[in-house]
A = this chain, B = another copy of it.
């Protein structure tokens, strides 16, 4: 481990922040909107992407990339971000940095009713008594599904490290539609969708999601081997993207952190920071090098097909043994362990499809691994897996994650140096081969402070465009107005279109986004209203709006249309179990209604043409005003129904 001194840090390059000047034109723009017609008329049967008021392309005076998106203009990129232990995903617009939407996933969100409606509870998972199994989660990485090497706008996948779950978000409505719990793992951290089938190149889109597990646990984790961590293990998991069922798992030596996948679908990999299988900090750092473990997807699936697997505990998921001892022959091995710098904290695929880069974290290096050489190793034609390493430049202290600009340059976050370092991959390879004149490091820029993930516009696709880079900094310190002991994090947007990096703006982020992706806006096609027919329980006509009783189970079928619910008075009895189903009949884009029931802990919203339901007990006689919580109309305050609970 490298010793870092205060002097070394103070000697580091300090580059003054640069940014474009303010244009002062904003006041003149955006004044064209007329009043929106209000009432019950349908403005838009099917939204799709709303027609933008103006093209975006934030440009500063000199035509330089800026972050300013003037009123009435749209952002150029969607930024999909994890929300850490907030349990949610987030959508921002870039370059403005505006948060466009929170997507509740593993958390309860009373605004939309996530974790409250019956539909969301079914997705989140419940205990026998109907209460939620978990109300917490820890999202780290969000990645989009691919087609032909770029995002297809179909799904986002996001992990929960806390409870070992994988969630899927459908990108047409930007809502979570599936959550699964992975068996026999703990500390599920890294995640990446595949980009192609390893065997059939015609399947050039995402069909698998790979999941890396960080924590060693007893297998199965049922109370055995608690005193002997040497018997514990970690599994790499493959989930079917469409069915969200676990296809298979591979047991590895060491642990896994992040995941990357090759563009040809043949390889997946995970960096490993604890090849020692250590159970405490000291033993996790005893080895000289850690590794990046590669998986030969086709071979694994062939073994599964051939029945050459075991299962663990009550799980029926096929588990293939990927440990070194079980894979002595490279020509049949399912895994290849490429040694890299100590405690790497990231593995990233270059947009040209040739390399994976692992960062050193405790080593001041990035390790460049050539995929063709890994394939050669799997073919038995490369003796030592370490020979797949084609470069290992010294780039600075605490390197964590690497992004790419599509022009041959890499951008790595330096956690300890609080910098982003720009370096050239070809130059690094030349230098590694012996050309000591090759200038590897191109530029450095200070960020504020301690960056974790960094990522570039379209940088994880074949169409990396080299425009913007986001540095996700873990500490904001004095960067924003003080708001007490809990600090915001700093997201810094950097213009990487030129030779030198230029800091554009500081955004705030509620803790704690780890990773994110920047997606060109034309790749995202959303629905702007729902289809009523998509909901089997839709309350479609006034005749359907009614109260039904079976014993003490009462069903309320309600409709909303601004500024009214379809029934002004609803009578139930104390002790009833009430299921209220609400269909929003408004068709105007953005005309969402809320539905709150005082003292009954119920709130949810219904977007245009959407149906949702809630179930609750009525244990207190009295009058309770069901009211609209989502501003809908000039008479929004007056939009209420009386729920009369008779004693």
Binds B, one of A171-179, A327-335, A370-378: A171-179
Copies of this chain per assembly: 2
Q: Point out the residues of chain B lying under 8 angstroms from A111, CB to CB.
A: 83-87, 510-512
Q: Mark A499-529, 1 if CB is under 8 A from B, else 0.
A: 0001111111011101000000100101111
Chain B residues in 8 Å Cβ range of A6: 20, 24, 28
A535 at the interface (CB under 8 A from B): no
A82 within 8 A of B: no
Cβ–Cβ contact A508 & B136, under 8 A: no
**Partner-binding segment picked from A202-210, A427-435, A443-451, A540-548:** A443-451
Q: Does A415 contact B (CB under 8 A)?
A: yes
Flag whether A309 is at the interface (Cβ < 8 A): no
Would you call A60 an interface residue if the criterion is a C-beta within 8 Å of the partner chain's C-beta atoms? yes
Query: Interface on chain A toward B: helix, strand, loop, or mixed SS?
Result: loop
> What's the least CB distance linking A634 to chain B, in Å?
5
Chain B proximity mask over A275-312: 1 for CB below 8 Å, otherwise 0 = 00001111011000000000000000000000000000
Q: Which of B97, B173, B528, B634 makes the CB contact (< 8 A) with A415?
A: B634
A644 touches B226 (CB 8 A): yes
**Bound Cα distance from A280 to B565, whole angstroms:** 11
| Neighbouring B residues of A646 by C-beta, 8 Å | 223, 226
Question: Contact flags (1/0) for A40-61 with B, using CB distance below 8 Å?
Answer: 0000000111111100001111
The answer to whether A186 touches B9, judged by C-beta atoms less than 8 angstroms apart, is: no
How many angstroms between the C-alpha atoms of A452 and B633 in the bound complex?
Answer: 10
Q: Is the CB of A362 within 8 A of B3?
A: no
| A118 close to B (CB within 8 Å) | no
Kindly state whether residue A128 has any CB partner on chain B within 8 Å. Answer: no
Partner of A36, one of B475, B563, B630, B639: B475
For A90, give the chain B residue with the smallest CB separation.
B510
State which of A239-247, A314-322, A551-559, A594-602 sits at the interface with chain B: A594-602
List of B residues within 8 angstroms of A85 by Cβ: 110-111, 594, 596, 603, 605, 629-630
Chain B: CB-nearest residue to A36: B449
When the two chains form their complex, are residues B280 and A36 in contact, meaning their CB atoms are under 8 A apart? yes
CB nearest neighbor in B for A93: B481
**Interface flags, A248-270, vs B, CB<8A=1, else 0:** 00000000010000000000000
Interface residues in A479-507 by Cβ distance below 8 A to B read 479-488, 492, 495, 502-507
Which residues of chain B are near A162, meaning CB under 8 Å? 596, 598, 603, 629
| Smallest CB separation, A345 vs chain B (Å) | 7
Render A175-197 as a binary contact track against B, CB cut-off 8 A, 1 for contact. 10000000000110100000000
A27 interface residue per 8 A CB criterion: yes
Q: What 1/0 flags go to A214-232 for Cβ under 8 Å of B? A: 1101100111001101001
Q: Are A418 and B35 in contact (CB under 8 A)?
A: yes
Would you call B136 and A116 a contact (CB within 8 A)? Answer: yes
Contact B36 A480 (CB under 8 A): no
Which one of B27, B187, B281, B345 lies within 8 Å of A627 (CB-CB)? B187
Pick the residue among B74, B223, B508 that contacts A647 (CB under 8 A): B223
**Is the beta-carbon distance between B26 and A503 smaller than 8 angstroms?**
yes
Judging by beta carbons under 8 Å apart, are A484 and B590 in contact?
no
In the assembled complex, A149 has its CB within 8 A of some CB on chain B: no
Decide if A66 is an interface residue (CB 8 Å cutoff).
yes
Q: Which residue of B lies closest to A510 (CB)?
A: B102
Q: Name A641's closest neighbour in chain B (CB-CB).
A: B280
Which of A109, A481, A598 neighbours the largest number of chain B CB atoms within 10 Å of its CB? A481
- Residues of chain B lying within 8 A (CB to CB) of residue A186: 598, 623-625
Residue in A478, A589, A603 with the greatest tally of chain B CB atoms within 10 Å: A478
A436 on interface, CB distance cutoff 8 Å:
no
Which B residues lie within 8 Å of A585 (CB)? none
Query: Considering only CB atoms, which chain B residue lies closest to A62 in the complex?
Result: B24
Q: A85's closest neighbor in chain B, by CB?
A: B629
Closest to A20 in B: B10
Question: Are A484's CB and B173's CB within 8 A?
Answer: yes
A-B CB proximity, top 7 nearest: A223-B621, A50-B478, A27-B502, A24-B60, A223-B647, A485-B607, A110-B136
28 A–B contacts, CB within 8 A, in A order? A6-B24, A14-B20, A22-B61, A22-B66, A22-B478, A26-B449, A34-B285, A35-B282, A35-B416, A36-B418, A52-B478, A72-B448, A75-B480, A75-B481, A84-B111, A84-B629, A98-B480, A98-B488, A138-B629, A161-B627, A163-B601, A164-B599, A215-B625, A281-B564, A343-B635, A361-B634, A484-B526, A485-B589
Q: A22-B59, A85-B594, A512-B631 are in contact. List 9 more A-B contacts (CB 8 A).
A: A31-B503, A84-B629, A85-B630, A93-B480, A107-B110, A361-B634, A450-B631, A477-B589, A485-B608
